[in-house]
Amino acid sequence: MQTAMSSRDVTAINRDFYDARWRRARVHRAEEFNTWPLVAALLPAAHERLEIGPGLHPRLPIAGTHFVDLSAPVVERLGALGGSVVLGKITALPFGAQRFDLVVAFDVIEHVEDDRGACRELRRVLKPGGRLLLSVPLHTARWTEFDELVGHARRYDVPALRTLLTDHGLTVEKSAAFGMRPTNPRLLRHGMRWLTQHRATAMRWYNWVLMPLGLKFQKRLRVVPGWIDAAEADGMVLVCRRESDAPRSAVAKAPADQ
């Protein structure tokens, strides 16, 4: 799998960027996102649930959910709202094996250099038959400086993502296109300039103006069984089931990226 930031301390970059983002941001609750119908369908069977790296945009209800986040402002804010929150990393989750019925990780594993270690931990804390709900950005060829700025370690091509999940005993039950990539180069450069030269102002505009507008106009997810045709998608959200057998050591050759 191609790693685009192998020479950098990705953890430090993410902590610096997201501490600044979340320090003065508004908390958006799970029901505000277009992922809520997908989440709500999984909740009745999720007596024990965990969300990793939620920031202040948790996709699970705050009350009754365990959270792990790298950012101290997130731990403080979600804890004050009734969540059970600890400071930590996805590669070293502070929970026992087979603890949770549902684990959620939106836009997390692409920020981790050791994504195989992250998947081992996700599988370890999931009960057999439990569900993993995650999202990732797609297509290594679409890498931009923006990915680097926000702390991505990679984008995923579909064959590599299939292999990663299959190797860790995670079977994709359904998926949907997810996320939106800036397509205007001038707009992207302008945003990058503000984030690098005027970060505090850019963060305020994003958190208090652009994010609420984005929520207002977000489109309903089109969820399909199995894998979507990913050719035009910038990202993907997947519902995976943890198989009860050991992770497979040999994986059938994955189809070519669509």
Domains of the chain in start order, with CATH, are 10-185+218-242 (3.40.50.150)
For position 210, what pLDDT does the model report? 62
- List residues bridging with 176 in a β-sheet: 237
pLDDT at residue 196, as a whole number? 63
Q: Which residues contact 162 (CB under 8 A, 6 or more apart)?
A: 172, 227, 254, 255
How many other C-beta atoms are found inside a 10 Å radius of the C-beta of residue 236?
Answer: 22
The alpha carbon of residue 165 and the mean position of all alpha carbons in its chain are separated, in whole angstroms, by 14
Q: State the amino acid at position 16 in one-letter form.
A: D
pLDDT for position 193: 57
Instruction: Using alpha carbons, list the distances in angstroms from residue 152 to 20, 60, 107.
Output: 16, 23, 9
Largest CA distance in the chain: 50
Exposure string over 204-224, b if 16+ CB within 10 A, otherwise e: eebbeeebeeeeeeeeebebe
Whether residue 136 contacts residue 156, with contact meaning beta carbons closer than 8 Å, is answered with yes
Strands 170-177, 224-225: pairing kind: antiparallel
Residue 252: predicted pLDDT: 40
Integer Cα distance of 246 and 185 in angstroms: 45
* pLDDT (0 to 100) of residue 108: 96
Q: Return the SS3 of 177.
A: strand
In DSSP terms, 147 is beta-bridged to: none
- Per-residue confidence in pLDDT tens, the chain, 258 aa: 444 544 457 777 777 767 677 777 788 999 999 999 999 999 999 999 999 999 999 999 999 999 999 999 999 999 999 999 999 999 999 999 999 999 999 999 999 999 999 999 999 999 999 999 999 999 999 998 888 878 899 999 999 999 999 999 999 999 999 975 555 556 556 555 555 655 666 566 566 666 666 777 788 999 999 999 999 999 999 999 999 865 454 344 434 344
Phi and psi at residue 257, to the nearest 5°: -55, 140
Contacts of 74 (CB under 8 A, 6+ apart): 18, 22, 54, 55, 56, 67, 85
pLDDT score for 189: 60
DSSP codes joined into one string, 191-254: HHHHHHHSHHHHHHHIIIIIHHHHHHTPPPP--EES----TT-SEEEEEEEE-SSPPPSS-PPP
Q: Tokens 């296109």 identify what position?
A: 177
In the DSSP assignment, the letter for residue 68 is E
